[in-house]
Amino acid sequence: MKLSGPAARRYLERPDPAHAGLLIYGQDAMRVALKRQQAVAAIVGPDAEAEMRLTRLPGADLRRDPAAVQDAMRAQGFFPGPRVVLIEEATDAGAPALTAALADWRPGDAALVVTGGALNARSKLRKLFETDRRAVAVAIYDDPPSRDEIAAELARAGLAQVPPDAMRDLEALARALDPGDFRQTLEKIALYKYGDSAPLSPADIAECAPVTMDAGLDDLIACAADGRLPELCTLMRRIEGQGIAPVSIAIAALRHFRALHAAASAPGGPAEGIGRLRPPVMGPRRDRMLRQAEAWGAVRLEAALAVLVEADLSLRSSSRAPAMAAIERALMRLASMGRR
């Protein structure tokens, strides 16, 4: 039997104990591993390995010792409860051994959980699990988690109620991060909110999200975009003291103003454009960038980009002008433009 979409998600959360086998396969090994971990925990519980109710067998060993799978499925441990035989990274070479194991399975034997890579439609392993009525095959695609999947992860982490604006930022974060990093971020958010009765906010998510930009550079460029010239000069001295290269400042400023230009030029307006940015912008920084995109407008942002491109070319040329002074002059010009 083959499952996909919501049916597959529900099955992995609560596998049928009457089924003999489960195949989980996909291109992304991390996504497959997370779904396998979820399914195994649902079948045998969190303490199965300590109670010796989980047996691991490498997929590469199936061809050399095909009887090992059947022996492991029939073996009885010291602790009562359901058992799982886990075959990781299986290939079509192990299909004969798994065929015999599924055919020989009886109620009371261990469940068979198999993981594989990107198996095509002609795969013997796929056909085995898709055509057997007592087995299930689940394909894991590289799509970002849906809203329902994020809600399920939040519930497991202890965050059942999430406001719409916070869920919007979590969906953007899920599109930008790898599955493992996203799960760790959710766990970090749950710890951050432990004992806090206030609902989850975009600011909370921004505090826990992985940092993608140096905080000092972020503040410096925000001063230029907001037209805060006195603060810009103070921050410039601090950035210079940290030893950050002028080219790094130029690259960060170009990235920021290009994002503003993309948001201001979006057909649905700056709010829609901000939501489409990659990597996603969340929390107070999102509100600030939205305000900046609306204040500057697409035309003035094009002029700002021209100033930054000119400064970047000057920094990369053979000019003998002081590099830090050149980028500071460019940012001061932007701050003056922002004030107007």
Read off the CATH number of the domain in which 328 is found: 1.20.272.10
Per residue in 249-287, is it b (16+ CB within 10 Å) or e — as a string? Answer: bbebbbebbebbbbbbbbeeebeebbbebeebbbbebbe
- 215 pLDDT higher than 70: no
Query: pLDDT class for 211, splitting at 50, 70, 90?
Result: low
154 with 63, same domain? no
- Judge if 81 and 157 occupy the same domain: no
Same domain for 297 and 196?
no
- Same domain, yes or no: 133 and 6: yes
Domain identity same for 12 and 136: yes
Note the pLDDT tens digit of each residue in 55-74: 999 888 888 888 889 889 98
What percent of the chain stands above pLDDT 70? 97
Judge whether 337 and 304 are in contact, CB under 8 Å. Answer: yes
Residues 201 and 316 in one domain: no
* pLDDT score at 217: 81
If pLDDT is split at 50, 70 and 90, which confidence band does 233 have?
confident
The closest alpha carbon to 72, from 84, 90, 60, belongs to 84
Structural domain count, the chain:
3
Higher pLDDT, 134 or 151: 134
Domain boundary among 82, 117, 140: 140
pLDDT for position 151: 82
**Among the residues of the chain, which ranges form H helices?**
5-13, 29-44, 67-74, 95-103, 124-131, 147-157, 164-176, 179-192, 202-208, 215-226, 229-241, 246-264, 270-275, 283-316, 323-339
Quote the mean pLDDT of the chain: 86
Residues 162 and 287 in one domain: no
pLDDT over 90 at 25, yes or no: yes
Statement to judge: residues 8 and 126 lie in one domain: yes
Residue at which a domain ends, from 115, 140, 165: 140
Do 194 and 303 reside in the same domain of the chain?
no
Tell me how crowded residue 306 is: count the other CB atoms within 10 A of its CB.
10
CA-CA distance, 218 to 212, in Å (whole number)? 10
Tell me, what CATH number does 102's domain have?
3.40.50.300
Q: Tens digit of pLDDT for each residue in 319-328?
A: 777 888 899 9
Is 90 exceeded by the pLDDT of residue 316?
no
Asked if pLDDT for residue 101 goes beyond 60, the answer is yes
Res 213: pLDDT: 41
8 A C-beta contact, residue 118 and residue 85: no
Is the model's pLDDT at 212 over the cut of 50? no
Q: Using pLDDT thresholds of 50, 70 and 90, give the confidence band for residue 75.
A: confident
Give residue-wise pLDDT tens across range 279-302: 777 777 888 899 999 999 999 999
- pLDDT tens digit sequence for 163-192: 888 888 888 778 767 777 888 888 888 888
Query: What's the confidence (pLDDT) of residue 214?
Result: 53
Indicate if 121 and 26 belong to the same structural domain.
yes
Q: Domain range spanning residue 157?
A: 147-208
92 and 124, same domain (yes or no): yes
